[in-house]
């Protein structure tokens, strides 16, 4: 995508080409291109329209129906915040009283659009001219151009005294290669600028990689890890008056709230779009007690693990660890919780392929789900090596207990 292609797609002819491309997207690319050319669409415009149609189709998982009217690049779509996550962040900012926001490094505008939908006036800054133009086009397509404006420029030069709050999502991929950057000092804007924002604008939120080292979390900031339907998607630092707790695990899940009374943190609530928000909070410094394996094993959500809140969850579930370094929790009873999946343990074995294969064959197990923490075994290779042929299912948990490779044979809790 370049500026000329974007301009062509925003004409009446381009809009018609996009509509035509949407009808044939998802099938054979050559046949789709041929269909557009047969309809009289010029080759260059047809190619641009088909690319957008395909990106919009893929974007539906992140943006829902809104994706059908948005403009994307492949890298921009990959890095964009999911609509549910952006909506929840915007609602939290609005609840804190924020009415003006600078989005430094706004990308395609996912977070800015969510904030604008909450009535927040957003000033987006984006260094890449094409991406800035796409963000502006997305604001117009959403009918939010009066609330979300974009300027192409250096995020570090923006006058933050113009706004009440700042959101910054520093680039964590190298331009041109798309490779991930793991050193925060190589982010763009650089880490010292990002962390210094909170000293200039008290209401500051920074989106960071989920693998952020806890040692890099600024003093006094709230560090939040977010998962969507069990997939870890991002982390964020909430600074100044926005910091409510040292650590937070936020889970966005399909369905209604789960009855989990007594869990530490804010109450679960409906976000909209079929998602419920569950939040577990704590210091992130507590250690869970260690005891032998018990009847039930809990596999905590990755947001709970990354936030170092396994001990807080253990307290609420009356659970313990079997190994102090591995985040599986064990309890004598199964309790409903949105923060972990629960399985019933039927067998605990020192790992032996021969013994495990024999036991599963004896029980006519032919389908296995394989979970692992603290194990070097490759699940797919183990699945092949087991050579199972029965008609019964089972769940295998590969782990370490007292520094010994161990496998748990489990079944779902009904």
Residue 178 confidence class, pLDDT cut points 50, 70, 90: low
pLDDT tens-digit series, residues 124-159: 999 999 999 999 999 999 999 999 999 999 999 999
Asked if residue 363 lies in contact with residue 337, where contact means CB atoms within 8 angstroms, the answer is no
pLDDT tens-digit series, residues 40-98: 889 899 889 999 999 999 999 889 899 999 999 999 999 899 999 999 999 999 999 99
- Which percentage of the chain shows pLDDT scores above 70? 94
Domain coordinates in residue numbering, the chain: 3-55, 77-244
| pLDDT above 80 for 175 | no
Instruction: Give the chain's mean pLDDT.
Output: 92
| pLDDT above 80 for 255 | no
pLDDT of residue 261: 47
CA distance 199 to 355: 60
3-state secondary structure of 15: helix
Question: What stretches of 275-328 adopt beta strand conformation (E)?
Answer: 275-282, 296-300, 320-321
Residue 218 burial (10 A CB sphere; 0-12, 13-18, 19+):
middle
Strands 231-238 and 148-152 come out as unpaired
Quote the tokens at residue 193. 């600028």
Residue 103 confidence class, pLDDT cut points 50, 70, 90: very high
Q: What angle do CA 125, 58, 1 make, to 5 degrees?
A: 50
Residue 376 burial (10 A CB sphere; 0-12, 13-18, 19+):
exposed
CA distance 248 to 232: 13
Torsion region of 265: left, alpha or beta (phi above 0 gives left; psi -120 to 50 gives alpha): left
Asked if residue 244 lies in contact with residue 222, where contact means CB atoms within 8 angstroms, the answer is yes
Quote the tokens at residue 247. 């650590």
CA distance 307 to 210: 9
37 or 56, greater pLDDT: 56
Could you tell me which of 182, 169, 194 has the C-alpha nearest to residue 76? 169
CA distance 56 to 60: 6
| pLDDT above 90 for 111 | yes
CA distance 409 to 371: 11
| pLDDT above 70 for 266 | no
Quote the tokens at residue 307. 């936030």
What's the mean pLDDT in 336-345?
95
Residue 152 burial (10 A CB sphere; 0-12, 13-18, 19+):
middle
| pLDDT above 50 for 214 | yes
CA atoms within 13 A on the CB side of 334: 13
Distances (CA, A) of 206 to 171, 225, 246, 308: 11, 12, 15, 19
Largest CA distance in the chain: 72
DSSP assignment of 27-93 equals S-HHHHHHHHHHTT--HHHHHHHHHHHHHHHHHHHHHGGGGGG----HHHHHHSPPHHHHHHHHHHH
What's 160's DSSP letter?
G
CA atoms within 13 A on the CB side of 283: 5
Residue 172 confidence class, pLDDT cut points 50, 70, 90: low
3-state secondary structure of 101: strand
Topology of domain 77-244, per CATH? Rossmann fold (3.40.50)
């Amino acid at each position: 995508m370049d500026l000329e292609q974007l301009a062509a797609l925003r004409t009446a002819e381009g809009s018609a080409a996009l509509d035509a491309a949407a009808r044939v997207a998802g099938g054979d690319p050559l046949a789709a291109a041929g269909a557009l050319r047969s309809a009289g669409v010029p080759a260059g415009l047809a190619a641009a329209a088909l690319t957008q149609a395909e990106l919009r189709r893929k974007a539906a998982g992140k943006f829902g129906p809104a994706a059908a009217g948005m403009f994307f690049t492949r890298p921009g779509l990959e890095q964009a915040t999911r609509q549910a996550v952006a909506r929840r962040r915007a609602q939290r900012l609005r609840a804190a009283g924020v009415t003006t926001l600078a989005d430094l490094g706004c990308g395609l505008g996912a977070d800015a659009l969510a904030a604008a939908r909450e009535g927040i006036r957003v000033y987006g800054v984006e260094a890449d001219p094409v991406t800035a133009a796409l963000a502006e086009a997305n604001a117009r397509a959403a009918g939010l151009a009066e609330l979300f404006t974009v300027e192409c420029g250096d995020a570090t030069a923006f006058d933050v005294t113009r706004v009440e709050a700042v959101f910054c999502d520093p680039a964590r991929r190298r331009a041109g290669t798309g490779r991930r950057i793991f050193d925060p000092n190589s982010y763009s804007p650089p880490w010292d600028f990002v962390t210094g924002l909170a000293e200039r604008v008290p209401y500051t939120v920074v989106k960071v990689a989920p693998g952020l080292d806890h040692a890099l979390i600024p003093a006094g900031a709230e560090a939040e890890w977010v998962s969507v339907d069990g997939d870890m998607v991002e982390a964020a630092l909430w600074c100044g008056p926005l910091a409510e707790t040292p650590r937070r695990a936020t889970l966005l899940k399909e369905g209604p709230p789960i009855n989990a009374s007594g869990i530490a943190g804010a109450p679960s609530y409906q976000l909209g779009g079929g998602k419920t928000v569950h939040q577990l909070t704590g210091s992130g410094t507590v250690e869970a007690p260690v005891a032998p394996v018990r009847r039930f094993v809990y596999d905590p959500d990755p947001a709970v693990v990354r936030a170092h809140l396994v001990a807080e969850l253990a307290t609420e579930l009356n659970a313990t660890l079997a190994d102090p370094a591995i985040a599986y929790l064990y309890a004598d009873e199964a309790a409903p919780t949105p923060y972990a999946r629960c399985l019933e343990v039927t067998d605990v074995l020192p790992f032996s392929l021969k013994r495990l294969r024999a036991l599963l064959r004896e029980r006519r197990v032919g389908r296995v789900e394989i979970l692992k923490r603290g194990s070097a075994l490759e699940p797919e290779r183990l699945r092949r090596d087991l050579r199972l042929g029965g008609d019964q299912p089972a769940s295998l948990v590969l782990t370490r207990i007292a520094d010994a490779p161990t496998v748990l044979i489990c079944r779902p809790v009904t």
